[in-house]
């Protein structure tokens, strides 16, 4: 199985495998959405089956919920769990302060709600997602369908007054129809190139009528686990205000074991 994975997939697997070790028996855990988060869900399912790990999970999308149930994880709603010990999720970009761009998978609203309802958030990613300045990845902004073009025009007007390189926005499509989130909303993708002040941009975007939420995660993530294609993991912990770095190694042969039990 390992030989069939791309280097990026091996890195994602390594990050997810390392991050799964932070989950302890009895925890209430938020499960992210996306390809890296899917590896995490499979690994946690393996621990449930093989180790008897008992957790309550709150998924951030219908896709993650379906996969979690398939691998034997106990899934509940956030209203049922009320508060979470830990959320583990991927990112489309992250910088040195662990400010993130998320929402490439279309689940940014649930992801942000779940992450902020947790004592801790761990980001799992590959090294290619680390950037000096956010903005190369298009910033998703979730808007309600009613009057979305007016919201789009207001967003573009705001971009002229903030520190970004580009000001183009486009409606995310699913074939010939607008992409629709789990909440029935649309997504605008902002091609900004560079975001000079993520905190300011996040605040002003959410003041636009019709905008539900944006994909900038500021002061939410505590740790990042960066996977590498050779199975190495680098964990950076910023929760104390000073970056603490730990290295570990994952056996990539375990990718076969994760799938063989399904």
Find the catalytic residue in 51, 70, 111, 130: 111
Closest CA to 232 of 108, 127, 133: 127
Q: Is 127 annotated in some ligand binding site?
A: no
Q: Is 25 annotated in some ligand binding site?
A: no
Closest CA to 227 of 131, 130, 137: 130
Q: Kindly list the distances between the CA atom of residue 251 and the CA atoms of 70, 90, 226, 230, 258, in Å, as whole numbers in the listed order.
A: 24, 21, 15, 9, 12
Q: Is 12 annotated in some ligand binding site?
A: no
- DSSP strand pairing (232-237 vs 28-31): unpaired
Q: Is 241 annotated in some ligand binding site?
A: no
Q: Kindly list the distances between the CA atom of residue 225 and the CA atoms of 54, 88, 100, 116, 165, in Å, as whole numbers in the listed order.
A: 23, 10, 13, 19, 29
Cβ count near 131 (within 10 Å): 17
Q: Is 232 annotated in some ligand binding site?
A: no
Q: Is 105 annotated in some ligand binding site?
A: yes
Q: In the annotation, is 111 catalytic?
A: yes
Q: Is 193 annotated in some ligand binding site?
A: no
Q: Is 26 annotated in some ligand binding site?
A: no
- Compute the distance between CA of residue 96 and CA of residue 245 in angstroms, rounded to an integer: 13
Q: Is 102 annotated in some ligand binding site?
A: yes
Residues assigned a catalytic role? 111
Which residues sit in the known binding site?
33-36, 89-92, 102-105, 129
Which residues sit in the known binding site for substrate?
33-36, 89-92, 102-105, 129
């Amino acid at each position: 199985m390992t030989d069939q994975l791309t280097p990026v997939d091996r890195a994602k697997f390594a990050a997810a495998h390392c991050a799964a070790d932070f989950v302890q028996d009895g925890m209430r855990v938020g499960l992210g959405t996306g390809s890296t988060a899917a590896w995490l869900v499979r690994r946690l399912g393996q621990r449930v089956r093989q180790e008897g790990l008992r957790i309550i999970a709150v998924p951030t999308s219908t896709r993650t919920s379906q996969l979690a149930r398939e691998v034997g994880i106990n899934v509940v709603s956030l209203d049922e769990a009320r508060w979470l010990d830990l959320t583990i999720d991927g990112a489309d970009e992250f910088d040195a302060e662990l400010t993130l761009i998320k929402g490439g998978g279309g689940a940014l609203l649930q992801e942000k709600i779940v992450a902020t309802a947790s004592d801790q958030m761990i980001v799992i990613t590959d090294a290619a997602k680390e950037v000096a300045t956010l903005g190369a990845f298009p910033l998703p902004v979730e808007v309600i369908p009613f009057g979305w073009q007016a919201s789009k025009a207001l967003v573009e007007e705001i971009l002229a007054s903030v520190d970004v390189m580009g000001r183009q926005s486009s409606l995310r499509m699913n074939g010939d129809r607008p992409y629709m989130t789990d909440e029935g909303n649309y997504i605008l993708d902002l091609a900004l190139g560079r975001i000079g002040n993520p905190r300011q941009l996040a605040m002003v975007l959410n003041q636009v009528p019709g905008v539900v939420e944006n994909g900038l995660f500021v002061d939410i993530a505590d740790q990042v686990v960066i996977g590498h294609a050779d199975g190495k993991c680098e964990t950076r912990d910023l929760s104390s205000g000073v970056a603490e770095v730990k290295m570990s190694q994952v056996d990539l042969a375990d990718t076969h074991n994760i799938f063989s039990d399904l």
